[in-house]
Amino acid sequence: MPTRPSPCFSSRANSRSSTSTTKALAESYVRSQNQRQRRRATHPFLTCAILPSGIFGVGDLVVLPGILDAYFRGQTQWQIGDNQNRFDFPESTNVAHAHYLAAAARVAQLEKCHDSPDDEDDEGDDDKTKVDGEAFFITNDEPRCFWDFTRLVWTFAGDTTPRERVWVIPRPWALRLAGVLEWTFWALGLGQPP
């Protein structure tokens, strides 16, 4: 079954992030392995891609620990950018539920395949259980500005920094400062910047 390329993947040369590139490659590979047609597969192998973004909640080892690390370092008075970038952080149980729903739909589709073995393929299906060969973005459907979420976590951790004491560093200035620091660390042989 032909699959359409991921909307996030164009080419390695144009990619701005190795993480995005590897995720797009993984998604493309998983979707390419979908084997729904019975002529090619004695036992259909149905796949789909589940695409969550920054997952928080039970088992989170990245998002909340990173946000809390900034809090414990006393870095809550800084903000990079104007806080206009909206982001949807999915909660871990919602991501787990999405995996369950995708698995249940694929099992239902397999049962349908076994019930009608004479069909050549189901490319034209409008079956609501068909998830194979597809990609699904998982969100909480509650997009919010990045720094609003971060400050909410800090508030629950005990931060009392008033908004008027927060230094907002414009993104272009932050990028220039990062470039100067990286160059300085390289030129002086100090290793990686902190």
Given a contact cutoff of 8 angstroms between Cβ atoms, the answer to whether 132 and 106 are in contact is yes
Helices first, then strands: H and E counts in the chain: 5, 6
Number of neighbouring beta carbons within 10 Å of residue 21: 17
Q: Which residues are catalytic?
A: 23
> What 3-state class would DSSP assign to 125?
coil
What is the Rg, in whole angstroms, of the alpha carbon atoms belonging to the chain?
23
**Nearest-angstrom CA–CA distance, 136 and 139:** 10
